[in-house]
Amino acid sequence: MGVGATRAYGEAPLAHGDIPLLTVPGIEAYGTGFSDATFIQNNFEWRDMMTYNRENHTFKFGVRYAKDDVWKGGAKFANVFTRPQFVFDDLFDFALDDPTTEENIGFNPETGENKGVDFRPYFPSLGIFINDDWKVRPNLTITLGLRWETFFAPGDYDNFFTGTVFKGGSTFQERIANSTSVQKPPLDGTDYNNFAPRLGIAWDPSGKGKYSVRAGVGIFYDRFAGQFFHDAQTFAPVFGIATASKNTPPVVPVYGLSKTDKSPWQFPVIPNLQKGLDAKGGLIGVPSELGNADPNMRTQYSINWSLALQFALKEDFVIETSYIGSVGHKLYQEYDVNRFNGDLLDGRLDRLNTSFGVIGYAQANGNSAYHGATASIKKRFTRGLDFQVGYTFGKAIDTASSFGRGLNIFDPLRLDLNRGRADFDIRHKLASSVVYELPKPNFPGFLGNMFQGWQLGAVTIIQSGPPLSVTCSASFSGGCDFNADGRNDDPLNTPSYGNSLSGLSRSDYMAPNRIFQVNDFPKPGPGRVGNIGRNTFENPGYANTDFILMKRFRVPWFWGTEGANLHFRAEFFNLFNRVNLDRAVGDINDPDNFGRSTQAFGARNLQFALKLEF
């Protein structure tokens, strides 16, 4: 039995907090966004396991209870929402101190106070498992297992959680339009239907240890992250996060610096923000941001399977080939659902639910898939040499490639439009590593000690590039947001040559060249989403070798009669000084760099180290 507790503490410090975060097209963002915050979390765990052997069976039973708790801690983020963030349309407006929007305005609808709230959530979970390793024959083992686990509905000690209540509607959009936000736990209950069977087989067909066939399949459930339920739960009706815009008079932006250079900050007060709430739990006169979850959300899970064949070519050589597959279902995703195609065509952003702006609605509706094949040869360290070489061919597909907040879903009703290569998908990868101990020279005395014991090592990776999407980050008024739903970063239409390119070299990505032109991509019609898809093009590939030279020197006279060891290491990163380009620019709103890679990974770097061990 074991009991454990850990305490995590983190800070987001702030320098020059009197300057707000400023976003201006054409220049780098200035100021600091999320900051002036402290996070403290306590993780408690109790677990126990029992093993029972009977004939050719080895049974294991176990239980684990854990709770992520904020006892004497929590998300102390109240000051985060006392510092506004300004967005300007252009440099001229910036020079005139005339922002288009002012965001991140924490507002207490009861008192009118400009402040957020410290949040103290907790997340308990329970897991139980049984496992049997069955030695069917000397050369055959079957592993059977079943795990049940549940992640209880989260709660908080101050009842600050907010949740969505639907007030009717026959379609999802109608339910969002009629929904209200109230003080309640984010989930209406706990998903207990989380049974995860597993099966594994290990078989040696020869019975002599020369061959190995391994196969397995299993279901695996995964808990939601605390951030998925906004561990800084600052939403109406508890607190509102307001956005003032030129389009929301009389609540309009007021630009200025803080009157103080330390917390509590005193930025200009937004005029005409009214106390109280409307009938749906939103702020009065200005839409507020909302981040709630599907009250009936289920637990995400994956089904993983594999088949591997191994052959001992010689006593120190092993050849292996394998197939690995995985699918994910009910994956956690959060994205803005308070929007509809064509909303801005009349020049005004109305949204489905007029009481709120962005409604980040957390759901378990994502899917993913991976299929890959690998082949490798390994030599264990004998006769001064150790090496392995492996090749992987695979493909990963999903609708989003993060754990799920603020995702760029093109159309909330058409998740299939986002289905494409995962952001991290690497189609081909060749990796190798080698360690070689130089032969001992036949030198006596000092020379023998100096030249013996040297080791060389190298790690090489050669792989194709990750995928690249072509989108436009400009707003509807800036000529993009083609479906006119109030969210930018929309895809365009497919060019005449299709939605992919082949035969590209590194020079094609570097100025003065570029892999495509802005004019190659037709813009969709008003109110429509582009058809090019997500992650259809490819970024530059990557090839790198890191090299190491090392030796241990014996220093018998350093410390009494035992002596000491002096370790020397010389490390060469990017040994051949190859230019490995970073991801290319796929945003047509950056026409100068569109279709080009403007950054590269590090050049050759050398470092030397000495370590004295005694």
Average pLDDT over residues 546-550: 95
The answer, yes or no, to whether residue 227 has pLDDT greater than 80, is no
Look at residue 444 and tell me whether its pLDDT is greater than 90.
no
Residue 442 in this model has a pLDDT that exceeds 80: no
Distance from C-alpha of 409 to C-alpha of 399, rounded to nearest angstrom: 8
Q: For the residues 166-177, what does the mean pLDDT come to?
A: 94
Q: Name the CA radius of gyration of the chain, rounded.
A: 29
Per-residue model confidence as pLDDT tens digits over 482-497:
999 999 899 999 999 9
Per-residue pLDDT averaged across 25-46, rounded? 83
For residues 77 and 37, the answer to whether their CB atoms sit within 8 Å is yes
Does the pLDDT at position 587 exceed 90? yes
Angle at 575 between CA 569 and CA 577, to 5 degrees: 140
How large is the average pLDDT for residues 378-384? 87
The one-letter amino acid at 236: A
Q: What is the reported pLDDT for 258?
A: 92
Residue 528 falls inside a structural domain: yes
Per-residue pLDDT at 233: 57
User: Which tens digits make up the pLDDT trace of 325-378?
Assistant: 999 999 999 999 999 999 999 988 899 999 998 999 999 999 999 999 999 999
pLDDT in tens, 253-293: 999 999 998 888 889 988 888 888 999 999 888 888 888 88
Q: What is the CATH number of the domain that holds 34?
A: 2.40.170
d(CA 613, CA 298): 54
24, 46 Cβ separation under 8 angstroms = no
Q: pLDDT-based confidence at 234, cuts 50/70/90?
A: low
Whether residue 164 lies inside any domain: the answer is no
Whether pLDDT at 155 is above 60: yes
Residue 169 lies in a domain: no
In a domain, residue 519? The reply is: yes
pLDDT of residue 314: 78
- CA 60 – CA 200 distance, rounded (Å): 15
DSSP 181: E
In angstroms, rounded to a whole number, what is the distance separating the alpha carbons of residues 79 and 13? 11
**Sign of the dihedral defined by the CA atoms of residues 585, 587, 588, 589, in that order:** negative
Predicted confidence (pLDDT) per residue in 291-306, tens digit: 888 999 999 999 999 9
| Whether the predicted pLDDT of 72 surpasses 80 | no
Q: Identify the residue with better confidence: 258 or 403.
A: 258
137: tokens are 């024959």
pLDDT, average across residues 138-158: 93
Q: What is the mean pLDDT of residues 82-100?
A: 89
Distance CA(596)–CA(604), nearest Å, equals 23
> What share of the chain in percent tops pLDDT 70?
97
The residue segments making up the domain with residue 306 are 2-147+200-291+301-613
Q: How confident is the model at residue 176 (pLDDT cuts 50, 70, 90)?
A: very high
- The answer to whether 164 touches 175, Cβ cutoff 8 Å, is no
Determine the pLDDT at residue 232: 53
Examine the pLDDT at 584 and tell me if it is beyond 70. Answer: yes
Share of the chain above pLDDT 90, in %: 61
* Predicted confidence (pLDDT) at residue 138 exceeds the cutoff of 60: yes
Q: Is residue 188 part of a domain?
A: no
Across the chain, what does the average pLDDT equal? 90
- What pLDDT was estimated at residue 449? 65
Domain count, the chain: 1
Does residue 60 carry a pLDDT above 60? Answer: yes
For residues 179-201, give the mean pLDDT: 94
344 in a domain, yes or no? yes
**Residue 231 pLDDT more than 70?**
no
Residue 589 pLDDT exceeds 80: yes
pLDDT band at 384 (very low <50, low <70, confident <90, very high): confident
Q: H or E segment at 288?
A: strand 288-293
Residue 177 lies in a domain: no
556 falls within a domain: yes
The larger pLDDT score, comparing residue 257 to residue 29, is at 257
Question: For residue 571, which of 461, 457, 453 has the smallest C-alpha distance?
Answer: 457
